[in-house]
Amino acid sequence: MTSAFRQDANDSGDATVYLVDDDPDVREAIAFLLEAEGIPTVTFGGPAQMLEAVDTHARGCLLLDVRMPGMDGLALHQALKKRGVTIPAVFISGHGDIPMAVRAVNAGALDFIEKPFDDEALLERIARAFELDRRRSASETETTEIRRRLERLTPRERDVLRGIIAGRLNKQIADDLDISVRTVELHRGRVLEKLEAANAADLVRMVLPLETPFDSGQ
């Protein structure tokens, strides 16, 4: 594989491939390939082992065999999601397991790859999974930081922020809250400062995507 993929893997920080396959030969071959590319890999011989070692803070991707004794890959993926493991999943499928792999994608998996697979094809899927996880992680970090800043607002500043998000003018917010326009302007300035926003448009961009932006501090 190209050095560009190695660079991508390095840029992903602690991103790891969590491989679950009951075939030891497959596990060994995939682990050898990934480790040769500098990709941290943790292998499990079955779903039970993975569930015992589950880490909700895991970063990277899941690489799951579709068909395994007892719990299949689809059921394992759903069980992991219920436990808070939301990293992207790529499924490994045999020829006869394609319909099951398609169901896995429809249920939220990123992709699947059919045995026997090309090394480059597998590495490309893992690279996409790492990038998706990196973007999700960055978004979660930004959301957490915005919520932390919201907690610094006083109740009145929250009232003013609601007005700003609703597109109300200072005079309208003042009338709504029965306070002076000057007081609204002061609160508005503090809101911008505490949320580290440049202007009202920046506030909307930061706060509006949050599902429950004003939960904290009420």
Q: With contact defined as beta carbons under 8 Å apart, do 86 and 78 qualify?
A: no
The rounded distance, in Å, linking the Cα atoms of 170 and 188 is 9
What pLDDT digit, counting tens, does each position of 136-179 carry? 888 888 888 999 999 999 999 999 999 999 899 999 999 999 99
Model confidence, pTM? 0.67
Q: Which one-letter amino acid corresponds to residue 4?
A: A
Measured CA distances, 207 to 34, 165, 204 (Å): 40, 8, 5
| The pairing of beta strand 16-20 with beta strand 60-65 | parallel
84: left (phi over 0), alpha (psi -120 to 50) or beta: left
In this structure, are residues 51 and 80 in contact, taking their beta carbons and an 8 Å threshold?
A: yes
What's CA 155's distance to the chain center, in Å? 31
Which two tokens mark 130? 């790492």
Q: Is the pLDDT higher at 180 or at 98?
A: 180
- Residue 208: per-residue pLDDT: 80
Q: Please state the CATH superfamily assignment of the domain spanning residues 3-143 in this structure.
A: Response regulator (3.40.50.2300)
How confident is the prediction for the chain on average, in pLDDT? Answer: 87
Start-end ranges of CATH 1.10.10.10 in the chain?
A: 151-207
Q: 116 preceded by cis ω (within 30°)?
A: yes
List, in order, residues 6 or more apart from 70 with CB less than 8 Å away.
46, 47, 48
Note the CATH number of domain 151-207. Answer: 1.10.10.10
Model confidence pLDDT, tens digit, residues 10-20: 445 589 999 99
In the chain, ranges of CATH 3.40.50.2300 domains: 3-143
Residue range 112-140, pLDDT digits in tens: 888 888 999 999 999 999 999 999 888 88
Structure tokens at 18: 């969590």
% of the chain exceeding 70 in pLDDT: 89
Q: What is the pLDDT of residue 63?
A: 96
CB distance 46 to 19 below 8 Å: no
